[in-house]
Structure 1
Amino acid sequence: MEKFEKVKELVSAIEADATKFYDGGVAAAGTRVRKAMQDLKVLAQEIRAEVTEKKNSSK
């Protein structure tokens, strides 16, 4: 559950940069959004692995 909380925090943190990029056209903000999306991808994969492990260990 700790990693899920990190995902929520990361999404909240990049909201301002996403707005700057999409509404303001700030290219640097787009770069920060891309990096954050990569971090989200890594966290999501880790969560998937944990869920699978927990699901399989309960059988």
Structure 2
Amino acid sequence: MEKFKKVQEVISSIEADVAKFYDGGNSAAGTRVRKAMQDLKVLAQEIRAEVIEKKNNNK
């Protein structure tokens, strides 16, 4: 659950940068968004592995 909360934090932290990139064309904001998306990918993979492990241990 801790990693899921981290996902929520990352998403909320980049909202302003997403707006700056898409609405204002700020390329530096786009770079920050891409980095955050990579962080989210890593977190999602970790969550997925934890879910699989927990599911397999419950059998």
TM-score relative to the length of structure 1: 0.99
Paired position in structure 2 for 1:21 = 21
Q: Which runs of 4+ in 1 moved over 6 A?
A: none
Q: 2-side partners of 1:55 and 1:10: how far apart?
A: 26
Task: Describe the superposition over 1:2-59 as per-residue Cα deviations: whole angstroms up to 9, x where unpaired.
Answer: 0000000000000000000000000000000000000000000000000000000000
Aligned residue pairs: how many?
59
Of all paired residues, the percent bearing the same amino acid is: 80
| Uncovered stretches (5+) of structure 1, i.e. residues with no partner | none
Q: 2-side partners of 1:9 and 1:27: how far apart?
A: 22
Q: 1-side partners of 2:10 and 2:31: how far apart?
A: 15
